[in-house]
Structure 1
Amino acid sequence: MNQPIHENLDEAFVARQRERLLKLREQLIADGDAAGAEENTLQIAAGDEPRDAVDDGNRLEQQANDEAVLAHDLERIAAIDRALEKIQDHTYGVSDGNGEPIGRAHLEAVPEAVFTVDELNAKARQR
């Protein structure tokens, strides 16, 4: 068996994280599928009903919100896929940016993390 890249991540921890990532990925996909089905149901239900400007405005606002959530979920799924790839490559817990170890507490909070907290804070300050 390959050893984890840094000493704070034992094989049992990495295995638990892999399971968490797989479940989270499955949940995000299911949520997206459910949102799509709900949107279809609402459109069918509205059918030929007369609509006013308020209804249209509410519907457009809800659609924009749904699209933002979907975009966020797709980004998160991509990050999960990257973290799963890193587990397979035995580089989980090492930053894609600076090659430094990612803190265990950060990985527990955000299992798909591929950057250190310091890197994320630096990126946020640049915005």
Structure 2
Amino acid sequence: MDTQVARERLLELRRELQETIEGVTSRMEAGVTADLPTGGHDFGDEGAHEQQAAEQDAFVEAARTRLAGVEDALRRIEDGTYGLSVVSGKPIPEERLEARPDALTLADEEL
């Protein structure tokens, strides 16, 4: 993949991830209970709220992890190692980079 195209895709992905993280975090800080019906309170409501909060926390953590990978891919573009597996040093196939521009490895490699 052309590094300029990769850079543009990665910058767009970074922007999207940052917006997502900020939006979900803002809603969490505002209190997700605002979305729950008012009135009687029971343990079911409380459990639903806790489940929703846990899911949002996990979602934000996954987005932050992906964002770190995008930042790493941008650094690899700068140092000339983008598109090479961090495990074997072999070129990552074009199709893999098209699907996941922040890929670190070949599909069959593990970190």
Q: TM-score, normalised by structure 2?
A: 0.87
Aligned length in residues:
109
| Identity %, equivalent residues | 32
Instruction: Indicate the residue corresponding to 1:105 in structure 2.
Output: 95
| Cα distance change of structure 1 residues 44 and 52 upon mapping to structure 2, 3 Å threshold | closer
Structure 1 unaligned residues grouped into runs of 5+: 1-8
Conserved 8 A contact 2:84-2:104: yes
| Counterpart AA for 1:52 | D
Q: TM-score, normalised by structure 1?
A: 0.77
Structure 2 unaligned residues grouped into runs of 5+: none
Between the aligned partners of 2:33 and 2:48, the Cα distance in structure 1 is: 16
Between the aligned partners of 1:51 and 1:28, the Cα distance in structure 2 is: 35
Instruction: Indicate the residue corresponding to 2:74 in structure 1.
Output: 84
Is residue 52 of structure 2 the alignment partner of residue 62 of structure 1?
Answer: yes
Between the aligned partners of 1:39 and 1:83, the Cα distance in structure 2 is: 29
Conserved 8 A contact 2:32-2:53: no
- What RMSD over aligned residues (CA atoms) do the two structures have, in Å? 2.0
Q: How does 1:1-127 map to 2 (within 5 A)?
A: 9=1, 13-43=2-32, 45=34, 51-120=41-110
